[in-house]
Structure 1
Amino acid sequence: MNQIFKTSVDYVRGVGTTRAEMLKKELGIFTFEDLLRHFPFKYIDRTKFYKIRDINEDLPHVQVIARLTQKELVGDKRTKRLVARVQDDTGTMELAWFQGIKWAEKNLIVGKAYIIFGKPGSFNGKAQMAHPEIEPYSAEALQRKGNLTLQPVYSSTEKLKSFSLDSKGIQKLTAILLEQHGKDIEENLPQYILQKFKLMGRSDAYRSAHFPEDATALHEAQYRLKFEELFNIQLKLLKNKLLRTQKYRGNVFEKVGHYFTGFYEDKLPFALTNAQKKVLKEIRLDTQRGVQMNRLLQGDVGSGKTVVALMTVLMAIDNGFQACLMAPTEILATQHYHSIKGLVGDDFIELALLTGSTKQKARRPIHEKLEDGTLQLLIGTHALLEDKVQFKNLGLAVIDEQHRFGVEQRSKLWRKNALPPHVLVMTATPIPRTLAMTLYGDLDVSVINELPAGRKPIETVHFYENQRLRMFGLMKQEIAKGRQIYVVYPLIKESEKLDLKNLEDGIETMSREFPLPDYRISVVHGKLAAAEKEAEMQRFVRGETHIMVATTVIEVGVNVPNASVMIIENSERFGLSQLHQLRGRVGRGAEQSYCILMSGHKLSREGRIRLDTMVATNDGFKISEIDLELRGPGDIEGTQQSGVLDLKMANLATDQELLMTVRHQVEEIFEKDPQLAHPENQILHQMLQTKSGGLSWDKIS
């Protein structure tokens, strides 16, 4: 939007400093543009009028024309209210005011007809409406209602309402702003795009999104603004992708040699799935093109992403390059180190682990071997980003669970080599296709969508509290077979006391049901020191305890193949993606595994959908689609850090088809005009210039 819309909201007529501060604090409305993009969340049809006899309290809002027949003040000083009675040709209704009594008493005149609008209710069996909107009936008023077919309703807060900034107050400010500056809203899409997709002009779209003449105008305005939002994101992402292939050369992995072939033929303990082979082929082609690879590898828990990452590392080593693998936590980094060490053996490649806990004495040889090139693979945490960590020839960076790293952190890795290393980003959090195209639209995406042979699907059941004895029975059966069990309680930051109480009660119950010496229990919770937590985890990993009871969510990547049961207490308090990640901690061996979702009988609609979804499917991608529909993109793990999503109108759960249309259109534009140099694309070129800001997005995945 043009420069005037960057003006502070203070300068909208009728706002001023105090109300501006409240808008900024409560709704994040700082500028003219923010106010214009605070769209209504619903619309009320003000052309329809009800008769009093047809009103019932299930209706969301009603509008009637009725005559005021009586009004009186009732109650004492503490409970004072104004009660009025209105009547039409079908019946009578009571109106009540508990606030604004002076205004109503002064302005409402017995005998006059009024247009009355509000939420219907009942009191003592009679129709009633509290705090209705009310204005004198006249032909002009009726005409005005007809002109405003759909009345916008805006989200507000209790604090804002005390400054007269309820929905009606925000509506008034938006109307003033459009009246003052509606004509200044400049078009930002080329004419040929508007014509091809029959899009409403931008200024008209903003006006109709707030004050639509009818349902058709509203639909056209919303479609135009959704198109614009998705188009802007795809334009930026695909331009970044194009820039990277044009500007940033990449190291060429010319051959597959001794390391890759030796591992594949002699050390790989199982056959690769077709999905793994397909991904390796894509990576092989990427690394031969002479441009920097930026590939996102999506795979459900246990699908074999680590083996693909290792084989990509071996490609780099075969071509004389070093590689690094960065994970967000020490537990996960250590797990990767032991897992890869177990696959390659002791003397196949030179690898090391570097985390915050690595002692200074151990760091020195790591730094030296990195700099002289003898250390081929470094696995670690944020410690890899330290300035002291210098590679001789870094050719590949593998990043696990990248949404946990900030943009600036990741970019530090790229600067550790003259040519930026190839980048392979891994995530075990399945991302819906539309979200992946929006968050990671400048990366190439690979998906591992099949599990290794021999893995049995995890059996998931939902038990209510009164089925706890069945749960204990299953636990005892599995322990008798030599298996281990996780019991996880939710962690809610606002309620640590409650969580600890739940955990303490849980441990007491488990200790009673599974007494020593026949059974041993590990306990992990947020109050434990890191060393104690690690010691308890390791006891479980080594098989010294049968049951692990935890409040902290078991880390992504913790791998205990012998654990066959995941019990999730108060499962209705977890999100879908969390439930799926927790379930993925079992089912890592060849034996049948189980996930038991425990809950109370009272479940919200969303809670029931989440639990039913978990029971119905093990497919992380299906689960992620339902999660997106339930929660929206802003709440899905990692999206808040992306710096990409600012969707006020488009919805990635429901606008998938539109996103695909927009993506194809932007691809077509860049195919024909990569530099956006054609006259008809100048508007897009200018838009990218103003949006690029100070951060070099084209260098960062």
Structure 2
Amino acid sequence: MRPDILNPLFAETDTLEGVGPKLKKPLEKLGLTRLRDVAYHLPERFVTRRAVETLDEAGEGEQIVIAVTVTEHRASGNRRAPYRVFAQDSAGNVLVLTFFGRASYTAKKQLPMDAKRWVAGKLDRYGDMLQIVHPDHVLEEGGETLGHLCEPVYRLSEGLTQPRVSGLVEQSLAKLPDLPEWIETHQLDKEEWPAWSDAIKLAHKGEHGKARDRLAYDELLANSLALMLVRADNRKRRGQPLMGDGGLRDKLDLPFEMTGAQTRSIREIEGDLAQEAPMLRLLQGDVGAGKTVVALAGMLIAVEASTQAALLAPTEILARQHYETMRKLAEPTGARVALLTGRDKGKVREATLMGLLDGSIDIVVGTHAIFQDKVAYKNLTMVVIDEQHRFGVGQRLMLANKGKAAPHVLAMTATPIPRTLTLAQYGELDVSKLDELPPGRQAIETRVVGQARLDEVAAGVERHITTGQQAYWVCPMVRESDFMTEDIAAAEARYAHLAERFGKDVVLVHGQLTPELKDAAMERFASGDAKVLVATTVIEVGVDVPNATLMVIEQAERFGLAQLHQLRGRVGRGAEKSVCLLVRGDTLSETARERLALMRETQDGFRLAEEDLRLRGGGELLGTRQSGDTPFSVASLDQITKLLPVAYADAQMLMEHHGGLDGARGEAARMLLYLFDRDWGVRTLRGG
């Protein structure tokens, strides 16, 4: 149960003065439903203004505060046109105050004719005149004090203004309770961090780095503790030890010799399965490293022990791909493999459900459908979750309901993850890493070409498919939009263009197609009936067509390193040499240039993941934005890299040497878990 001292922070936002049903909706769009959320809605940046007497003292682009006298209101007959208020400073210089939409009504009230007002905002040029668009402040008196403030700028949604959000933040901060300290004194002194409530207040009042770091550390500590609680709870649970005799695994007819990394990972999984405590392991493998074979070997141990195993995939395309691969590999063993997705209906579905219930199906592969209420198993003991980053801790915990005992869980990801983020997202898991490629895998030649050479690229694709081989063509978007500010490659437009050239040899796949259309296109490409597959990043994982040996990625600078690496990994799966063409736009940032150079230089996904983290810094990270979000709302990427190892070690010390959450510091840490919505960690501790 949440400590009573925290209850004021978990009150709904409509308990704040001025918040009614109308204002509550835009707050909810920002995820601000409780006072706690408002208090932690930290500023994106801060604005420092300079008070000036005349416009002659100010520069274009500068944030200023100035006293003016209103001289004219000028409205246009067009509702979409701006509403302009003309004013003069003390020297007679003209300043245009420009308003759009509903703000024009406010302007009429705030800026009556001949009135003297203080206005604050960014000075820009409008034709031959200076203007401020949507002034941040319009005050009758005392406005000069705005020039001495470092004012926060908050993320907004439609219906909210900066002053309104600032007012709500002030109300929330006034209700902050005094909480016991969960960080050790020596750590606070060493880092010169303020107390919790002071840190939040300081973080809203200026760019106080120490305060922001302390709040980030709090969040990282909360996440680390919660993951450790799940891990500790898992070790206490009683699972079913699985001892295989190797009879089925020995019958696997693999077309290659296993790598040392595969053999080592299977041995680690076998050791986990033999324990009563359920396995909770992450299998991290680079593109083409052979995760599927390792997972199948683990599942066959469960079958050898006369039990069942299941593989959960995030998409139907990926589920069908795994099913076909595993069915073929497992055929010599006699293990019975089935597919179950949300699309299965009627007698086919009923037969699968019956087979799972009576045990005649050994391994099932599917989407979330395999864990629906109506799906029952005779004895499910092992679960494999592919593309682990798409499933949260809560979803992983729910799997226990499908077995007689808590099932063994093997999570897999094909996205190499930097060590720091592995700790952040999978801290409750043991980790196996496939860092070797199977023998015989050829290096993929990677080239970078300019957008101006697209016709040459298309001609190259034409020559390529006349040899009997196939090609992918990946675009950043599904279709062109009226709101696009620049030319962005769209899959539908590219498909239409290539279809004119290649006819029925081209198929299109993207996430907005119906499952039936996607499956039909993929089937044509997989069978070789279609030679070119135009797609968005929906093919990033799970597509395995050995005859496809050419990958074209249009406007490659728009993708992160990890995603480019995943896409490149769709080729190079057969005996023929493969090529990846990265088609770049005309204008590249320095980061984009370095990213594309790294793609040419290396095919080591783990190195690329670390470089991706370095290049993106505090900005968007592919591994978190495009391949599963980090669980953090306060900590920036830089702070995660700097502070997480320390927070994780601190959490371990608390759990192992300070009595866990039962000691004095642990009681304070419980509050931290609730503050950052890691209460599932506390529920796990309670066994709830």
In the alignment, structure 2 segments of 5+ residues that lack a partner are 78-82, 99-103
* Distance of aligned partners of 1:51 and 1:285 in 2 relative to their CA distance in 1, 3 Å threshold: farther
Aligned amino acid, residue 9 of structure 2? F
What does residue 196 of structure 2 align with? 202
The residue number in structure 2 matching 1:175 is 170
User: How many angstroms does 1:36 deviate by?
Assistant: 1.3
Q: 2:456 aligns with which of 457, 467, 470?
A: 470
**Residue in 1 aligned with 2:220?**
230
1:163 match: none
- Contact 1:396–1:422 (Cα < 8 Å) also in 2: yes
Contact 1:332 1:555 in 2 (8 A): no
Alignment match, 1:510: 498
Shift of 1:483: 1.4
CA distance in structure 2 between the aligned counterparts of 1:52 and 1:36, rounded to whole angstroms: 37
* 1:339 aligns to 2:342 (yes or no): no
Provide Cα deviations, 1:243-302, integer angstroms capped at 9, x if missing partner: 1112x0232234553333454xxx333232233233223323322332111112222321
Deviation string for 1:356-382 (max 9, x for gaps)?
A: 555755566655654554543333333
Unaligned runs of 5+ in 1: 161-165
**Across the two proteins, how many residue pairs are aligned to each other?**
660
Q: Which aligned pairs between 1:70-85 and structure 2 lie closer than 5 A?
A: 72-73=71-72, 81-85=85-89
Corresponding residue number in structure 2 for 1:351: 337
Distance 1:383 1:145, change over 3 A: closer
Select 1:28's aligned residue among 19, 31, 38. 31
Distance 1:4 1:560 in 2: 57
Q: Quote the offset at 1:656 in angstroms.
A: 1.0
Once the two structures are TM-superposed, the CA of residue 667 in structure 1 deviates from its matched residue by 0.7
Cross-structure match for 2:80: none
Instruction: Give the secondary-structure state (helix, strand or coil) at the position aligned to 2:402.
Output: coil
Q: Matches of 1:504 and 1:12 in 2, distance apart? A: 48
In the superposition, the TM-score normalised over structure 2's length comes to: 0.81
**C-alpha distance 186-351 of structure 1, shift in aligned 2 (>3 A):** same
Bigger drift between 623-632 and 2-11 goes to 623-632
Deviation per residue, 1:668-693 (Å, 9 max, x gap) = 11111454333343222465589636
| Separation in 2, partners of 1:534, 1:77 | 54
SS in 1 for 2:468: coil
What CA deviation, in whole Å up to 9, does each residue of 1:38-79 have, x standing for no partner? Answer: 2111123357879966643244x2457xx86x7633757866
Q: Contact (CA 8 Å) 1:240, 1:698: kept in 2 or not?
A: yes
Alignment of 1:94-109 (within 5 A): 94-98=94-98, 100=107, 103-104=110-111
CA distance in 1, matches of 2:248, 2:680: 43
In the alignment, is the contact (CA less than 8 A) between 1:74 and 1:83 conserved in 2? no
User: How far 1:406 sits from its partner (Å)?
Assistant: 7.1
1:280 paired to 2:266: yes
Q: Is the 8 A contact 2:251 2:333 kept in 1?
A: no
Partner of 2:657: 672
Contact 2:48-2:147 at 8 Å conserved across structures: no
Conserved? CA contact 1:56–1:127, under 8 Å = no
Instruction: Kindly provide the CA deviation profile for residues 599-655 of structure 1, in whole angstroms up to 9, marking residues without a partner as x.
Output: 654678887777666556544442553568542589625646xxx8251x2113543
Contact 2:46 2:152 in 1 (8 A): yes
1:601-680 paired onto structure 2 within 5 Å: 601=586, 614=599, 617-621=602-606, 622-623=608-609, 625=613, 626=615, 629-631=618-620, 636-637=625-626, 639=628, 645-647=631-633, 649-680=634-665
TM-aligned CA distance change 1:628 to 1:503, over 3 Å: same
- Specify the code of the residue in structure 1 equivalent to 2:498: M
Equivalent-residue separation in structure 2 for 1:229 and 1:431 (angstroms):
20
TM-score, scaled relative to structure 1? 0.80
Structure 1 partner of 2:231: 241
Q: Deviations over 1:310-362 (max 9, x none)?
A: 12123333434332223234433332233223334435434333445557555
User: Residue type of the partner of 1:199?
Assistant: W
Equivalent residue, structure 1, for 2:414: 428
Aligned to 2:442: 456
Shift of residue 454 of structure 1?
Answer: 2.5
Q: Structure 1, residues 110-169: CA drift from partner, whole Å, max 9, x if none? A: xxxx9874323335667665647576998x966x865x4x32222334532xxxxx3233
Q: Which residue number in structure 2 is paired with residue 152 of structure 1?
A: 152
Of residues 119-128 and 443-452 in structure 1, the stretch that sits farther from structure 2 once superposed is: 119-128
Amino acid aligned to 2:219: E
1:137-148 equivalences in 2 (<5 Å): 148=149
Alignment-derived partner of residue 296 in structure 1: 282
- State, as a whole percentage, how many aligned pairs show the same letter: 34
Counterpart amino acid of residue 510 in structure 1: L
Q: 2:246 aligns with which of 232, 257, 266?
A: 257
SS in 1 for 2:332: coil
Tell me by how many angstroms 1:188 deviates.
4.9
Q: Higher mean Cα deviation, 667-676 or 92-101?
A: 92-101
Compute the displacement of 1:561 (Å). 0.4
Instruction: Give CA deviations for 1:2-23 in whole Å, capped at 9, x if unaligned.
Output: 211223333334x242664255
CA contact 1:354–1:383 (8 Å) conserved in 2: yes
Alpha-carbon RMSD across the aligned residues, in angstroms, is 4.2
Secondary structure at the residue paired with 2:661?
Answer: coil
1:38 to 41, 52, 55: 41
Distance 1:46 1:522 in 2: 56
Of 236-245 and 469-478, deviating more is 469-478
Instruction: Within 5 Å, give how 1:181-580 maps onto structure 2.
Output: 181-182=175-176, 184-190=177-183, 192=185, 194-195=188-189, 197-212=191-206, 218-246=208-236, 248-254=237-243, 257-263=246-252, 267-356=253-342, 361=347, 370-371=356-357, 373=359, 375-387=361-373, 389-404=375-390, 413-492=399-478, 506-507=494-495, 509-514=497-502, 520-524=505-509, 530-531=515-516, 533-550=518-535, 553-554=538-539, 556-569=541-554, 578-580=563-565
